[in-house]
Amino acid sequence: MTHPRNLAIGMFDSGVGGLTVLHQLAKRLPNEKIIYFGDTARVPYGDKSSQEILRYSIDNANYLMSKHKIKVLVNACNTSAAYSKLQLRQLCPMPVVDVIEAGVKSIVKTTKSQRIAVLGTRATIRSGVYENEILKLLPQATVISIACPLFVLLVEEQFIGHKATKLIVEEYLAPLKKQNIDALLLGCTHYPLLRGIIQEELGNGVAIVDSSSSCAEMVADLLSSKDLEAPLSSLPVKHQFFVSDNPERFAVTARNFLDTQTEVHVQIKSPD
């Protein structure tokens, strides 16, 4: 029987955004093989209802568990994690890590003034999950949450350096003027690609935490503490990419999220 440490890390996202988590994780743990599933047939989750998001999340976890051999499940989609945390932990026999849990842990360590902002999709912000989880750890904190529904598409459409994106960032961040926040959490895995422009808008007095890097750290800690780290490999690890629709488009967009060495061979997921 294969020792669990030799199994892959299973990771899912609504689409391509979770690749920022994969990118960080692959840098941090180069021996780990990652099986990534992007639910491109149903992307984006950010404007869907909570019931639909929960249903999709359970489908995704079941797909990774039934069709692949995984030792950890990483929910790399903030919107999904906002509505499925408890249910996925009940469903899955292996450890589950998600971007929200990781992001909260990290922002709470980062802030000094306890005046914090969180950016996310409309569904993530509507859930109130970031605010609730932060307040559990820092009951005196002020948390300002802002939905930024255009950011995902601006990233996917490669408008990152465009003047229009700068104006849209200004518009969404306007409520933070004079709020004296000292830390801001990027609560969506697409947003790290806009980090530069967000930092410019906020000035250097605000520390930016991204849930993708935090999640990669958390997975590394978990594997180490449970003795689940993959053995050293002399060959470069090949990750696997599966999607529910349109693999060609995924492969094109994925190139913005990953380094040039990562091979992206995308397959359509097998039917249920």
Does 99 help bind a second copy (rule: CB under 8 A)? no
- Options 49, 113, 180, 267; binder of a second copy; rule CB under 8 A: 49
Nearest to 134 by CA among 209, 204, 194, 193: 209
Is the CB of residue 255 less than 8 Å from the CB of residue 261? no
Helices (H) and strands (E) in the chain — how many of each?
11, 10
Residue with smaller CB distance to a second copy, 137 or 164: 164
Angle of the 19-28 helix axis to the 211-225 helix axis, nearest 10: 50
Residue with smaller CB distance to a second copy, 115 or 249: 249
Residue with smaller CB distance to a second copy, 49 or 256: 49
CA 217 to chain centroid: 12
Does 197 help bind a second copy (rule: CB under 8 A)? no
Extract the tokens encoding 47. 């404007």
Region from 70-78, 150-158, 202-210, 230-238 binding a second copy, contact rule CB under 8 A = 150-158
Does 217 help bind a second copy (rule: CB under 8 A)? no
Does 153 help bind a second copy (rule: CB under 8 A)? yes
Q: Considering CB under 8 A, how many residues would be counted as binding a second copy?
A: 24
Q: Identify residue 162 by its one-letter amino acid code.
A: H
Q: Is 92 a catalytic residue?
A: no
Residue with smaller CB distance to a second copy, 52 or 200: 52
- Options 62, 89, 171, 224; binder of a second copy; rule CB under 8 A: 171
The Cα 253–Cα 80 span in angstroms is: 21
The alpha carbon dihedral of 219, 220, 223, 228 has a sign of positive
* Largest Cα–Cα separation, the chain: 59
Does 174 help bind a second copy (rule: CB under 8 A)? no
**Reading across the β-sheet that carries 207-210, which strands appear in turn?**
142-147, 115-120, 183-186, 207-210
The Cα 238–Cα 102 span in angstroms is: 25
Does 255 help bind a second copy (rule: CB under 8 A)? no
Nearest approach, Cβ of residue 227 and a second copy (Å): 42
- Options 27, 69, 109, 162; binder of a second copy; rule CB under 8 A: 162
Nearest approach, Cβ of residue 167 and a second copy (Å): 4
Nearest to 164 by CA among 175, 151, 177: 151
Does 42 help bind a second copy (rule: CB under 8 A)? yes
Extract the tokens encoding 43. 């992307």
Does 82 help bind a second copy (rule: CB under 8 A)? no
- Options 65, 150, 160, 251; binder of a second copy; rule CB under 8 A: 150
Cβ-proximal residues to 171 (8 Å cutoff; 6+ apart), any chain: none
Q: Is 77 a catalytic residue?
A: yes
Does 221 help bind a second copy (rule: CB under 8 A)? no
Extract the tokens encoding 217. 């750290």
Residues marked as catalytic: 77, 188
- Binding site residues, a second copy, CB under 8 A: 40-43, 47-49, 52, 149-150, 153-154, 157, 159, 162-165, 167-168, 171, 245-246, 249
